[in-house]
Amino acid sequence: MAEEPTKAGYAGGGDREGDDEQVVNPWEVTAKDGGKIDYDKLIEKFGCQRLDESLVRRVERLTGRPAHVFLRRGVFFAHRDFNEILDVYERGEKFFLYTGRGPSSEALHMGHLVPFMFTKYLQDAFKVPLVIQLTDDEKCMWKNLTVEESKRLARENAKDIIACGFDITRTFIFSDFSYVGGAFYENMVKVAKCVTFNKVVGIFGFTNEDHIGKISFPPVQAVPSFPSSFPHLFSGKDDLRCLIPCAIDQDPYFRMTRDVAPRIGYQKPALIESSFFPALQGETGKMSASDPNSAIYVTDSSKDIKNKVNRYAFSGGQDSIENHRKYGANLEVDIPVKYLGFFLEDDAELDHIKKEYGAGRMLTGEVKKRLVEVLSELVERHQKARALVTDEVVDAFMAVRPLPQMFG
Amino acid sequence: MGYTKDQLLARLKELQIDFVCYDHPAVLTVEAQAKYVGHLGGALSKNLLLKDKKHRYYVVSALANTNIDLKVLSQRLGLGKGGLRMAAEEALQEILQVPLGCVTPLALINDSARDVSLLLDQGFKSQQSCYFHPLTNEVTLSISASSLDKFLISIGRQPSYVDLEANPAVGKDNPPDLASLAPSGVPTLPDKVENAVTSIPTGNDGLTVKKPTKLAGEAKSPAALQKEKLQKVQSSIDPLAEATNIEKLVKEIMDKTSTAFLNEITKDLNDPQIAPSVSDVVKRRVSSDLEHMMMSLKNAAYTQGFQAGFQATLRSSLQSISMQK
């Protein structure tokens, strides 16, 4: 299986060829020529695999429940070794989940919740433990925040993450500033010894002008894949496999990790990767936390949501009603339909909408109205749950404690 | 009601098992038996009927000169120290249906002995012929170990040969090595299979030991047994885990509510078919929200407990520090 990308060199920020190539790395996502991200090319370039129907069916069989919306609709569309994880699970063995967030801002939008919503489903369906890393150190370095501010943001983001419904008896949340040290740091050094300066430059596009904090950061995001980094949780379980749900722009970190793992006697982590959540104004890249109208935030009121969707959601409908009835909507670029693809659970209803809207019988206004309903319900539920997450709850999730029920 | 010697011998003939019979006056002990057949070159056996505290029975059949320490055997079977006693005389009649001094592996042909566990001295295997009583004290049966196996298999038993003199350490890191040979009752077979399987020291492969009490028709396929074991091990009886299983709780609540609702509504509706599908829709909409609310509750309750525990530990540490001063 091709682990390496097909081009010499990696899809790092260091190998831009003007606007001819799309750029996908942990710090930048831009499509070619301001168009759409080509996911097939990305899969080929990165060397991961497509998540096909048969895997989704297998997941349903093994977990005894319908697959999550994101799996059914191809939001999580690529993987590395996910089939091996399923083999492990089928044999009655266990694995653990690892995901994370770079706490760069207080405001989270729906796109940020996507990996967490999916990870919660994985936790419930497979009944496995989860570690969540908050890379406050990374944001301190890349966004030039103070240490205090990045630590504060980490805790605030943790509250939203917890509100997604993670099970405290199976979840350990940690921030790098608090947790790095001990066995975790030992693993960081082991990983660091295996990656040359040239290699990180190739993977991540670092230059001679970048400070050494950035250059030595990648091992921090790599080692939570290894159970020995968490002796209070997985002591004695050195062979425990790891599954990492993440957005596909994080792939470089874990390509590096998978390369290093066998050399230090560890299992390679498996990955299950999602496409990018499109911005409200259209599918040219990731949502940006700095533009409030590019996204629906978890702090938005129903009024805000209605306003944003109606005003800014890019429509694939025609410019006049007559044309619309004649030609139908362009579902390829229509944002409301895409958003419904993420959040409308009912497959039958979604198919109906696509059919009617695509044929021109349903108008943009109706689709947007339905989207506003769906989003408002979601956001409201999130806000209610968020209100119940106090600092004490965060402390408990982040306490270095054993989780005896984690596989129960 | 029990088999007679003649019936037993007829059965052996049917199975085309070679044997030789020696008649003699009734003997109650190995020494007495030895007087009559001890010079013939075969291996005399001593046979015990034992009982444990759970009223389960064991036939231990050994070479006459093998040392048997009941305390060691008891531990190896997972019965703790002193868990094995000689069975009462009545048991011989009731369970094995043989007279006193006539305990023999061949008595397992009787249905009354179906729950009795059999332990055979591995020393028999190296003997050309072994001497057992064929359900009567007045005859000694000479038979090879492999023929004995053939007989046992024909009555649905798996012969288990054991080094009866071995004295392995039994403790936390060394589970009792003979625990799988402790009998299990037929009616509760699935549970006992789980108990026996999880106490086998070599882990997953508990399937090689066929329970002596299993009759041919009840033998489960290895795959089914393995799956059962996994399910049992996974759903370990931890009441707290049960109580905090949110999905299960929500499902129960929704089922109860919708049943109650359905009952009331169908009384009034013209078309009672509408109600179930309506209740399904309601269930789906409410279940998801309910699950989220329950998760918030679970996390909050855990946090409160965590805090309380932390405070309690802190207090007791401070107290012990201040007392040291």
State the complex-level ipTM.
0.84
Q: Are residues A110 and A160 in the same domain?
A: yes
- The pLDDT assigned to A36 comes to 80
Residue A297 in domain: no
Higher pLDDT, B295 or B260: B295
Q: Could A168 and B244 be called an inter-chain contact, meaning their C-beta atoms sit closer than 8 Å?
A: no
Measured between alpha carbons, how far apart are the two ends of chain B, in Å? 80
Q: Which of B295, B298, B304 to mutate to test the interface with A (most CBs of A within 10 A)?
A: B295
Q: Report how far residue A141's alpha carbon sits from residue A148's, in angstroms, rounded to the nearest whole number.
A: 12
Read off φ and ψ for residue A110, nearest 5 degrees: -55, -35
**pLDDT band, residue B282 (cuts 50/70/90):** confident
Q: Which residues contact B55 (CB under 8 A, 6 or more apart)?
A: none
Position A201 scores a pLDDT of 93
* Residue from A6, A103, A31 nearest A249 by CA: A31
Other Cβ atoms less than 10 A from the Cβ of B185: the count is: 13
CATH, residue A353: 1.10.240.10
Contacts of A259 (CB under 8 A, 6+ apart): A3, A194
Is B287 touching A (CB cutoff 8 A)?
Answer: no
Give residue B285's pLDDT. Answer: 77
CA–chain centroid gap for A327, Å, is 36
| Chain A closest-CA separation from residue B61 CA (Å) | 39
- Domain with A123 in it: what CATH number? 3.40.50.620
Q: Contacts for A341-348 with beta carbons within 8 Å, 24 or more apart?
A: A341/A73, A341/A75, A342/A69, A342/A70, A342/A73, A342/A75, A342/A110, A342/A114, A342/A277, A343/A69, A343/A110, A343/A374, A343/A375, A343/A378, A344/A69, A344/A370, A344/A374, A345/A69, A347/A72
- Other Cβ atoms less than 10 A from the Cβ of A306: the count is 18
Identify the domain containing residue A258 by its residue range.
Answer: 23-280
Q: Say whether A94 sits in a helix, a strand or coil.
A: coil
Q: Could you tell me the strand order of the sheet in which A171-175 lies?
A: A49-50, A76-80, A270-274, A241-247, A95-101, A130-134, A171-175
* Average pLDDT estimate for B190-204: 37
Q: What share of chain A is helix, strand, coil (3-state, %, to 5)?
A: 50, 10, 35
Please write down the long-range contacts of A65-69, taking CB distance under 8 Å and 24 or more positions apart. A65/A125, A68/A117, A68/A118, A68/A121, A68/A122, A68/A125, A69/A342, A69/A343, A69/A344, A69/A345
Bridging pattern class, strands A130-134 and A171-175:
parallel
- Could you tell me if residue A163 is left (phi over 0), alpha (psi between -120 and 50 degrees) or otherwise beta? alpha
Is residue B295 scored above 70 in pLDDT? yes
Domain check: are A258 and A327 in the same one?
no
Examine residue A407 and state whether it is found in any structural domain, yes or no: no
The H-assigned helical ranges of A261-320 are 302-312
Domains of chain A: total = 2
Residue B156 binned pLDDT confidence (cut-offs 50, 70, 90): confident
Q: Please indicate, yes or no, whether residues A91 and A29 belong to a single structural domain of this protein.
A: yes
The answer to whether residues A202 and A261 belong to one domain is yes
pLDDT at residue B167, as a whole number:
83
* Number of A–B residue contacts, CB under 8 Å: 56
Q: Where are the beta strands (DSSP E) in A38-114?
A: 49-50, 76-80, 95-101
Instruction: Tell me: do A258 and A357 sit in the same domain.
Output: no
Of A92, A124, A169, nearest to B302 by CB-CB distance is A169
A344 and A227 within one domain: no
Integer CA distances (angstroms), B189 to A239, B60, B115, B181, in order: 34, 23, 11, 14
Chain segment A148-203, per-residue pLDDT in tens: 999 999 999 999 999 999 999 999 999 999 999 999 999 999 999 999 999 999 99
Determine the 3-state secondary structure of A128 from DSSP: coil
- Same domain as A345, residue A274: no
Beta bridge partners of B141: B21, B132
Is the same domain home to A84 and A128? yes
Size of chain B, expressed as the number of residues it contains: 325
Q: Which of B247, B300, B303 sits opposite A124 (nearest CB)?
A: B247
For residue A171, tell me if it sits in a domain.
yes
The yes or no reply on domain B5-181 and CATH 3.40.50.620 is no
Band of pLDDT at residue B188, cut at 50, 70 and 90: very low
| Test mutation, A168, A343, A395, A401, chain B, max B CBs within 10 A | A168
Element (H, E) at B226: helix B222-234
- The percentage of residues in chain B with a pLDDT greater than 90, rounded to a whole number, is 17
Nearest CA in chain B to A117: B292
Residues A114 and A183 in one domain: yes
Q: Considering the domain boundaries, does residue A406 fall inside one?
A: no
Q: Distance (Å) from the C-alpha of residue B69 to the closest C-alpha of chain A?
A: 38
Could you tell me the two tokens for A209? Answer: 């002008």
Contact, A125 vs A86, CB < 8 A?
no
Q: Where are the alpha helices (DSSP H) in B52-183?
A: 70-76, 89-91, 145-154
Domain membership flag for residue A15: no
From B230, B292, B307, residue closest to A385, measured CB to CB: B292
Find the CB nearest A388 among B230, B244, B300: B300
Whether the CB-CB separation of A108 and A157 falls below 8 Å is answered with yes
Q: Do A105 and A239 sit in the same domain of this protein?
A: yes
pLDDT at B213 over 60: no
Residue B215, pLDDT above cutoff 60: no
Distance, in Å, from the CA atom of A64 to the CA atom of B40, rounded to the nearest integer, reads 66
Within-domain flag for A3? no
Answer yes or no: are the C-beta atoms of B160 and B181 closer than 8 Å: yes
What CA–CA distance (Å, rounded) separates A63 from B147? 50
SS3 at position A21 = coil
User: Which residues of chain A fall short of a pLDDT of 50?
Assistant: 1-19, 285
The phi-psi region of residue B267 (left if phi > 0; otherwise alpha if psi is between -120 and 50; otherwise beta) is alpha
Residues of chain A in Cβ contact (below 8 Å) with chain B: 92, 124, 162, 165-169, 381, 384-385, 388-390, 392-393, 395-397, 399, 401, 405, 408
- pLDDT category of residue B68 using cuts at 50, 70 and 90: confident
Place B227 in a pLDDT band, splitting at 50, 70 and 90: low
Within-domain flag for A10 = no
Who's near B197: CB < 8 A, 6+ residues apart?
Answer: B206, B207, B225, B229
Q: Is residue A397 part of a domain?
A: no
In this predicted model, which residue has the larger pLDDT, B274 or A356?
A: A356
Strands B139-143 vs B130-132: parallel, antiparallel or unpaired = antiparallel
pTM of the model: 0.66
Q: Is the pLDDT of residue B194 over 70?
A: no
Residue of A92, A168, A381 lying closest to B298 (CB–CB): A168
Task: For CATH 3.90.960.10, list the domain ranges present in chain B.
Answer: 5-181
- Does residue B303 sit at the A interface (CB-CB below 8 Å)? yes
Report the pLDDT value the prediction gives residue B237, as an integer from 0 to 100.
65
Dihedral angle computed from the Cα positions of residues B87, B91, B92 and B95, in that order, rounded to the nearest 10 degrees? -120
Question: Is the distance from CB of A406 to CB of A127 less than 8 angstroms?
Answer: no
Tell me what pLDDT residue A393 has.
95
